[in-house]
Amino acid sequence: MTLIKSIAVSVRVCYHLLMKDATKNKLKKHAYTAAQWTWGLPQTLAGSLLYLRHRKADHFDYRGARATAWDKDTGVSLGKFIFVPRRAGGAPGRFLLEHEYGHTLQSLILGPFYLLVVGAPSILWNRLPYFRNKRLKTGRSYYSAPFESTANKLASRLTKSSK
């Protein structure tokens, strides 16, 4: 009888702890969303417009961010909204998903300065033939640019801490 009682108690404790974790995660996601819609408003607003333009694509939630798997071959991160290429199997690549999420964390840190400090340089670094050729010639990685490597560092810190 006491054994059954103690099992019942431990099950209840486990359940309680799990509930607490779920509530904590929920709160974290709410705080994340609130911060993106206030401090990170310019990019979140731009992201929401891009999201509407691609509303027919597949969407899913990723750690509080609203992700879209689209048919383009590049990733974009605008505040709460991330856009990643859809792979052959339909699921987006893990690395790019985490990388773009890292940019959303930069948005939380930089707020209204995100588009200036990360957005604009990243578009130039990505698109300008000058930088493309330079990367090809020197073998420098796309992710070696400071605004790109920071996104990876932030993302890897987060994925490590949640494991």
User: Using CB under 5 A, which residues numbered 76 to 105 contact Zn ion?
Assistant: none
The pairing of beta strand 65-70 with beta strand 81-85:
parallel
Q: For 149, what's the count of Cα atoms within 13 Å in the CB-facing half-sphere?
A: 5
Alpha helical stretches, state H, 70-162: 94-110, 114, 120-127, 129-138, 146-161
Residue 99 CB, nearest distance to Zn ion (Å)? 6
C-beta of 13 vs 120, nearer to Zn ion: 120
C-beta of 130 vs 143, nearer to Zn ion: 143
Residue 120 CB, nearest distance to Zn ion (Å)? 13
C-beta of 44 vs 148, nearer to Zn ion: 148
What's the rounded Cα separation, in Å, for the pair 19 and 30? 16
Q: Which range of residues in 19-27, 37-45, 85-93, 147-155 is near Zn ion by CB under 5 A?
A: 147-155
Size of the site for Zn ion (CB under 5 A): 1
- List phi, psi (to 5°) of 62: -135, 105
Element (H, E) at 163: none
The pairing of beta strand 58-62 with beta strand 65-70:
antiparallel
C-beta of 14 vs 124, nearer to Zn ion: 124
At 145, the amino acid letter reads A
Residue 95 CB, nearest distance to Zn ion (Å)? 11
Residue 148 CB, nearest distance to Zn ion (Å)? 5
Choose which of 114, 148, 154, 155 interacts with Zn ion (CB under 5 A): 148
C-beta of 98 vs 148, nearer to Zn ion: 148
Beta bridge partners of 86: 92
Tell me which residues touch Zn ion (CB under 5 A): 148
